[in-house]
């Protein structure tokens, strides 16, 4: 019988695979594919080596987005001439001795970066240790040349040219020069935040000339918090430093420091979230989820918090060797790390009280500033003193009365308007004293240094919401028993995961218990949620537990109901308030945490300094 499938005959059968040892060049190119994804990856590895060498000044030069040139110069300890060849060997490092892979105190430790870069580019290392002669070695596509003498005052200069020339296929996957340069700048800025006592300079030397400085920060002085604030001010801008809260908290061997911005200083994306573990910049899903969870009650879904957080712990409590680029970590106790971040940030936000970011006033002034017209601004006299203003007002009063009689009737103040005894000093309240209400929605208050405009509905909404949350925390969440328990079939792992959280869920009115095998029975649901699909609720909580090792879904649903209740139960827009009511609202705002923003993350008040108001009228 003829073979119906001639392609599946003896000739088409594959030969027995042969196991062979790859040469060093192939091994290094494979390793480079994991470690060096783009020019920014090469910059990261070289700058981290400079930091590990004890450098206090680091300069990074690049050309054409790092594709044709990357040069990192440092004043670190340098490399001995006899060790240059060894430094370019795979898994050769001075960071660890190999006896304990958990006790890691440096950025690098694998010994893969330099040989990987030499395998895919033209790498030259020039270095000089104190008391020794300078030396230089070059590697082109994995082929190493002889070590030769070189002139250098001290430290190390690593030059990488024609990245990926040995693997041309990788060049096709690189982005534009501008995008690669932006990625390099982001890497340098992250490392600059991690090392505030080190000077960093980033230069673009593309084309002719000596190049231009893209980024430069000097070494900071003082204690850690002062140095970190100064460095963050240089990297993220003065606005972030002015509107960020210091974080300093410890729990069971974990120490969290850094700065987190006020909710009203939120962003439209997560680009201003910087997380570090033992000084190492990371992009960890657990830490990002914890940061989002700490702010979830203060921001709308389309806004993101800004923060720079540093989590330090014993190296044995965290594994940094779970990703080739060391951008992800794994904690021995993930719940402890997440709980520390959430509690520390919430405590700092509560201590901030009614404070709102200064950018709110800046945005208000920007919206109110008229377009410049005409010629140069007319000179304005200096602002008179308080006594001079009082005398001038008294002298102008009769003339004003006559003008009022000519042009129209002067309205006398309403009986319920806020009044002060003549000559009485204005109390120095943070939110000032109410002076009036406009459009039955906005309270105008005078402070010692300016004025405050309060959205009465948004402010009272937050006050009522915080009061409802306090009552819920004190009295618990009322549970509603189901007439027929809902039975939910799960896998054994999912069932155990949910039952481990059963006590926490019961605090919020959700009662679950095992029902045999891998099933659970839902016997109670939060009464405030009304009629609810218990199965869908449990599965949503399970998804969040699997993704973040913790769940705030039930609490978020309950607090969303409380937020709606607060919205409907607060002072409505259009209601005229008496003077004592307005002042009482201001005083309660000053005493209530988080009152600077409403339940949806919008500011509840705008503060304008007297200098800001004068600037609107050109009196600066």
Domain boundaries of the chain, sorted by first residue: 24-217, 224-352, 353-368+427-620
Give dist(CA 80, CA 526) in Å, integer.
69
Low-confidence stretches of the chain (pLDDT < 70) are: 1-15, 24-25, 27-34, 91-105, 107-111, 209, 323-326, 357, 360-427, 547-554, 565, 568-572, 620
In this structure, whether the domain defined by 353-368+427-620 belongs to CATH 2.30.40.10 is answered with no
Measured N-to-C along each axis, helices 24-35 and 113-120 cross at an angle, to the nearest 10 degrees, of 110
- Per CATH, which fold does 24-217 belong to? Heat Shock Protein 90 (3.30.565)
Give dist(CA 420, CA 172) in Å, integer.
74
pLDDT in the model for residue 334: 86
Which residues on neighbouring strands pair with residue 256, listed in sequence order? Answer: 249, 311
Query: If we measure between CA atoms, which residue out of 408, 456, 449 comes closest to residue 430?
Result: 449
CA distance to 81, 220, 359, 615, per residue, from 609 (Å)? 63, 31, 13, 10
In CATH terms, are 224-352 and 353-368+427-620 the same topology? no
Give dist(CA 360, CA 354) in Å, integer.
13
Q: Indicate the helix (H) or strand (E) that contains 488.
A: strand 479-489
Tell how far CA 246 is from the center of its chain.
13
pLDDT in the model for residue 103: 61
pLDDT in the model for residue 51: 92
- Counting other chains too, the contacts that 31-36 makes at CB distance below 8 Å and 24 or more residues apart are 31/90, 31/112, 31/115, 31/116, 31/119, 32/116, 32/117, 32/119, 32/120, 32/167, 33/167, 33/170, 34/324, 34/325, 35/112, 35/113, 35/116, 35/324, 35/325, 36/113, 36/116, 36/117, 36/120, 36/163
CA distance to 96, 256, 291, 363, 509, per residue, from 333 (Å)? 25, 15, 17, 43, 27
Any idea what DSSP says for residue 151?
A: -
The class (CATH top level) of 224-352 is alpha beta
Contacts of 525 (CB under 8 A, 6+ apart): 479, 480, 482, 509, 510, 511, 532, 534, 537
Give dist(CA 302, CA 322) in Å, integer.
31
pLDDT in the model for residue 76: 93
Measured N-to-C along each axis, helices 456-475 and 579-591 cross at an angle, to the nearest 10 degrees, of 50
Which residues on neighbouring strands pair with residue 436, listed in sequence order? Answer: 444
Give dist(CA 607, CA 223) in Å, integer.
32
pLDDT in the model for residue 345: 93
CA Rg value for the chain = 32
CA distance to 257, 305, 340, per residue, from 336 (Å)? 15, 21, 6
HSE, CB side, 13 Å, CA atoms: give it for residue 32. 25
Tokens, residue 427: 């109390």
Tell how far CA 525 is from the center of its chain.
35
Tokens, residue 141: 């596509």
Q: The pTM is what?
A: 0.73
How many Cβ atoms are within 10 Å of 248's Cβ, its own excluded? 12
Task: Find the farthest-apart pair of alpha carbons in the chain and give their distance in angstroms, rounded.
Answer: 124
Query: Could you identify the residue written with the tokens 């993220």?
Result: 236
Give dist(CA 248, CA 432) in Å, integer.
31
Q: Are 503 and 513 in contact, with CB atoms under 8 Å apart?
A: no
Query: Could you identify the residue written with the tokens 């893209």?
Result: 214
Any idea what DSSP says for residue 282?
A: E
Q: Are 360 and 603 in contact, with CB atoms under 8 Å apart?
A: yes
* Torsion sign across C-alpha atoms 248, 250, 255, 261: negative
Give dist(CA 304, CA 261) in Å, integer.
10
């Amino acid at each position: 019988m003829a073979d119906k499938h001639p392609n599946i005959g003896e000739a088409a059968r594959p030969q027995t695979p042969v196991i062979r040892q790859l040469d060093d060049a192939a091994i290094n190119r494979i390793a480079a594919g994991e470690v060096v994804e783009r020019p920014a990856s090469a910059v990261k590895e070289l700058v981290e080596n400079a930091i590990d060498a004890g450098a206090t000044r680091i300069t990074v030069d690049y050309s054409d987005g790092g594709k044709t040139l990357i040069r990192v110069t440092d004043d670190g300890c340098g490399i001995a001439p006899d060790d240059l060849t060894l430094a370019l060997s795979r898994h050769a490092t001075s960071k660890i001795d190999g006896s304990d892979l958990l006790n890691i105190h440096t950025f690098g430790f694998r010994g893969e970066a330099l040989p990987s870069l030499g395998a895919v580019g033209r790498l030259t290392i020039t270095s000089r240790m104190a008391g020794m002669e300078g030396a230089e070695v070059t590697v082109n596509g994995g082929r190493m040349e002889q070590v030769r003498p070189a002139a250098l005052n001290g430290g190390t200069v690593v030059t990488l040219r024609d990245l990926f020339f040995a693997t041309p296929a990788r060049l096709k996957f690189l982005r534009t020069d501008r995008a690669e340069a932006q990625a390099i700048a982001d890497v340098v800025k992250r490392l600059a935040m991690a090392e505030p006592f080190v000077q960093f300079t980033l230069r673009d030397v593309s084309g002719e000339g000596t190049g231009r400085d893209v980024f430069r920060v000097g070494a900071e002085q003082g204690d850690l918090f002062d140095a970190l604030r100064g460095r963050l001010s240089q990297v993220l801008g003065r606005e972030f430093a002015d509107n960020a809260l210091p974080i300093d908290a410890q729990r069971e061997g974990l120490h969290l420091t850094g700065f987190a911005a006020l909710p009203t200083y939120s962003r439209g994306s997560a680009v201003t979230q910087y997380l570090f573990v033992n000084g190492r910049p990371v992009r960890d899903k657990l830490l990002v989820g914890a940061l989002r969870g700490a702010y979830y009650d203060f921001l709308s879904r389309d806004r993101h918090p800004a923060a720079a957080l540093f989590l330090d712990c014993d190296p044995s409590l965290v594994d940094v060797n779970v990703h080739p680029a060391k951008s992800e970590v794994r904690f021995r106790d993930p719940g402890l790390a997440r709980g520390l971040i959430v509690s520390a940030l919430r405590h700092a936000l509560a201590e901030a009280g009614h404070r709102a970011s200064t950018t709110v006033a800046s945005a208000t002034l920007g919206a109110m500033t008229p377009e410049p017209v005409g010629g140069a601004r007319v000179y304005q006299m200096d602002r008179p003193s308080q006594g001079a203003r009082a005398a001038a007002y008294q002298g102008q009063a009769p003339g004003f009365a006559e003008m009022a009689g000519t042009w129209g009737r002067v309205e006398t103040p309403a009986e319920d308007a806020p009044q002060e005894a003549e000559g009485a000093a204005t109390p120095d309240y943070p939110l000032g004293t109410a002076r009036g209400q406009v459009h039955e929605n906005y309270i105008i208050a005078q402070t010692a240094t300016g004025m405050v405009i309060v959205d009465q509905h948004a402010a009272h909404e937050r006050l009522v919401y915080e009061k409802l949350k306090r009552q819920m925390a004190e009295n618990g969440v009322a549970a509603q028993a189901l007439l027929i328990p809902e039975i939910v079939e799960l896998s054994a792992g999912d069932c155990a995961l949910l039952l481990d959280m059963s006590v926490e869920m019961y605090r919020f009115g959700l009662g679950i218990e095992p029902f045999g095998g891998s099933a659970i029975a839902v016997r109670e649901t939060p009464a405030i949620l009304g009629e609810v699909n218990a199965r869908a609720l449990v599965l949503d909580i399970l998804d969040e537990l699997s993704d973040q090792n913790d769940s705030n879904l039930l609490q978020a649903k309950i607090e969303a109901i409380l937020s709606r209740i607060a919205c409907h139960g607060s002072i409505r827009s259009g209601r005229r308030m008496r003077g004592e009511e307005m002042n009482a609202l201001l005083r309660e705002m000053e005493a209530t945490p988080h009152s600077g923003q409403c339940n949806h993350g919008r500011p509840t008040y705008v503060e304008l300094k007297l200098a800001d108001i004068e600037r609107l009228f050109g009196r600066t």
